[in-house]
Amino acid sequence: MNPKFGVVVFPGSNCDHDAYYALKHELGYEVEFLWHKEPSLKGCNVIILPGGFSYGDYIRCGAVAKLSPIMAEVIKFANEGGIVIGICNGFQILCESGLLPGVLIKNKSLKFICEDVHLLVTGKSEVFANDASGSVVKIPIAHGEGNYFIEPDKIEELEKNGQILFRYCTPTGEISLESNPNGSINNIAGLTNRAGNVLGMMPHPERACSKTIGNDSGKFVFSSIANFIKSKEVEHVF
């Protein structure tokens, strides 16, 4: 089975074309835009909720987008084991939709941050980071509400279940307060649901897929998904 990526487009999305370009022109995968009003995933077996400012971030980031017609299909798809990745605003939408636990709040600095950060791949995910556990990668961030928070008892559960896939770190892989750009609890930059088929991450791997721009360290996220799907023979792969 070959991967077919679907990039959902909400009013206010601004990283949808970044994701499309990286997937189609840098990685060579089949990809299609999915308009938020369409209650169909058009046969896609990977769904990407891209970054941006869906619905202008009114009320809360992702709070309105979760009500879009397509999200009912995305939620159903995810609950049936389909692969979903939410990047930046997409991560916020996943939390608002209940597909991931916790919430993204304002950065500790109360400022928008746009810079490269280093991530330590701390979890093991056959889907999103196959063979990458323990690696340090450099990927850009661009957000004002990327401070991940969850209650203390719930963070213990995430740690115990191995759901924390990416943590902010130093270039040498040290997890420290200084390497945390936004104040996220336990330096969390990305995590999965318990089943392992849904990933939310604040950094933008789609902006790190080309040597032309000096950074292709984000390619492994998408290539890992593609390799996983190619190894399976069922529709939703889980």
Domain of 137, CATH number, reads 3.40.50.880
Catalytic residue among 36, 44, 204, 209: 204
Task: Return the pLDDT at 218.
Answer: 96
Task: Return the pLDDT at 238.
Answer: 42
Catalytic residue among 88, 95, 169, 209: 88
Number of domain units in the chain: 1
Asked if 204 is an active-site residue, the reply is: yes
Query: What are the pLDDT tens digits along the chain (238 aa)?
Result: 899 999 999 999 999 999 999 999 999 999 999 999 998 999 999 999 999 999 998 888 999 999 999 999 999 999 999 999 999 999 999 999 999 999 999 999 999 999 999 999 998 899 999 888 899 999 999 999 999 999 999 999 999 999 999 999 999 999 999 999 999 999 999 999 999 999 999 999 999 999 999 999 999 999 999 999 999 764 554 4
CA distance 6 to 116: 26
* Range(s) of the domain holding residue 182: 4-230
Whether residue 66 lies inside any domain: the answer is: yes
Task: Return the pLDDT at 234.
Answer: 45
Whether residue 235 lies inside any domain: the answer is: no
Asked if 143 is an active-site residue, the reply is: no
CA distance 30 to 225: 13
Asked if 151 is an active-site residue, the reply is: no
Q: What are phi and psi of 188, to 5 degrees?
A: -70, 125
Whether residue 157 lies inside any domain: the answer is: yes
Could you tell me if 81 and 236 are in contact, meaning their C-beta atoms sit under 8 angstroms apart?
A: yes
